[in-house]
Amino acid sequence: MRIHRHFGDVPPALKGAVVAIGNFDGVHKGHQALVAQAAREAKARKAPLAVLAFEPHPQEFFRPRPDSIRLTPLRMKARLLAELGVDVLFALPFDAEMAGRSAQSFVEDVLLKSLGASGVVVGPDFEFGRGRAGKFSTLQQMGTALGFSVTCFDMVTTDGSAKISSTRIREALKAAQPQEAAGLLGHWWAIEARVEHGDKRGREFGFPTANMHLGHCLAPAFGIYAVRVSIMDNDTVVGRRDGVASFGIRPMYQTAVPLMEAHLFDFDGDLYGKHLMVELISYIRPEAKFDGMEALIAQIGKDAQMAREILKKTGQPPALDG
């Protein structure tokens, strides 16, 4: 899959694409269905399949906040979209210039003049242009006038009424419900980061950990998780282990910034500097402060055993109800 960070100088081979437009944060089951609709149209026209998303997320531009709402950083989002067969991702910068662009300019200058879109697929609540002036009806009228197709794709629901959304997934992760989040996503939610040097306490306890800071990514509920860890080389998985992980501020030692500490079962290699993807499979318990080192080590052992038992029984992400 090709990735373009700007809409200028699009190669001729990628013009004429059917373009699915949205934020695609999480690339959840609703996003996957929208891309599938665009893929069907692209196949029928023998045209490229494209996704247009914005980086950063528009909410991060309009309502900056110290904690991130982002479910999937660009690298992970691109990999998930590539797995859906997308030919090109237009990850366009969302800045003051883009925010101030009129709905007409977005369609004429970005979608048509630069991307050469032959068709677009959007959700029913799609809004675009300065002040969100453009609605689906606006896009439909412009499509008729300017000669490109416009498809409104009804978003996927869990029970006929509750729409699958990135907001619901964020709420599930904040509520320590990674399995519910996975049911909405269609894949396990994961944290990706590079392993950093820590204080080496885990090794002293007999449970060496890979320490990672989340960076610009949603912080899930603090606590202990059963996890699956992939060791990455660029975007290729070169190793995979079950494990147990702690995410939070470590009540016994107090870290200023929340930290992910993952212990990989049956692994004795060097992970410093490696890029890991840590999938949250099940929540075991909240963080806690213990009366001394022995009590802490005993609890870590219990957490590790529970994680092993959970992971033996866990396969693919749970299916949605309804």
**Which pLDDT belongs to residue 160?**
58
pLDDT above 60: residue 151: yes
Pairing of the two strands 88-93 and 49-55: parallel
Chain segment 28-61, per-residue pLDDT in tens: 999 999 999 999 999 999 999 999 999 888 888 8
Calpha distance 270→264 (Å, rounded) = 11
Q: Give the lowest-confidence range in 19-23, 186-190, 313-317.
A: 313-317
Q: What gap in Å lies between CA 100 and CA 131, rounded to an integer?
A: 8
Burial class (CB in 10 A: 0-12, 13-18, 19+), 296: middle
Q: Which residues, 6+ apart, have CB-to-CB distance to 58 below 8 Å? A: 23, 94, 99
Residue 266 — very low, low, confident or very high, per pLDDT cuts 50/70/90? very high
> What is the number of helices (H) and of strands (E) in the chain?
10, 12
CA distances from 321 to 31, 157, 161, 180, 204 (A): 18, 10, 12, 10, 44
Q: Domain 2-152 - what CATH class?
A: alpha beta
Q: Are the beta carbons of 92 and 55 closer than 8 angstroms?
A: yes
Q: Looking at residue 159, what is its pLDDT?
A: 66
Q: What is the pLDDT of residues 73-127, one digit of tens each?
A: 999 999 999 999 999 999 999 999 999 999 999 999 999 999 999 999 999 889 9
Say how far apart CA 50 and CA 90 lie, in whole Å. 7
Q: What pLDDT is recorded for position 322?
A: 39
Residues 6+ apart with CB under 8 A from 113: none
Q: Which of 62-66, 148-152, 291-295 has the highest mean pLDDT?
A: 148-152
In the predicted structure, residue 2 carries a pLDDT above the cut 60? yes
pLDDT at 56 (0 to 100): 85
Q: pLDDT tens-digit profile of 202-247?
A: 566 678 899 999 888 999 999 999 999 999 998 889 999 999 999 9
Reported as a single tens digit per residue, the pLDDT across 288-318 is 888 888 888 899 999 999 999 999 999 888 7
For residue 112, give the nearest of 81, 139, 73, 72 by alpha carbon: 139
Mean pLDDT taken over the chain? 91
- 173 pLDDT exceeds 90? yes
Q: Phi first, then psi: what are they for 298, rounded to 5°?
A: -60, -40
Contact of 85 with 49, CB cutoff 8 Å:
yes
- To the nearest 10°, the Cα dihedral for 152, 156, 157, 162? -50
Output the pTM of the full model: 0.91
- 154 or 20, higher pLDDT: 20
Report residue 51: phi and psi, to 5°: -120, 135
Is 3.20.20.70 the CATH number for 166-312?
no
Q: Which residues are catalytic?
A: 261
Strands 190-194 and 149-152: unpaired
Strand-pair category, 88-93 with 119-122: unpaired
Q: Where are the domains of the chain?
A: 2-152, 166-312
Amino acid at 184: L
Distance of alpha carbon 229 from alpha carbon 312, whole angstroms: 15
Tokens in use for 40? Answer: 């069907």
Q: 11: which 2 tokens?
A: 């190669």
- Beta strand 49-55 with 18-21 is parallel
Instruction: Determine the Cα–Cα distance for residues 27 and 189; give it in Å rounded to an integer.
Output: 10
Strands 223-233 and 149-152 come out as: unpaired
Sign of CA dihedral 232, 83, 167, 72: positive
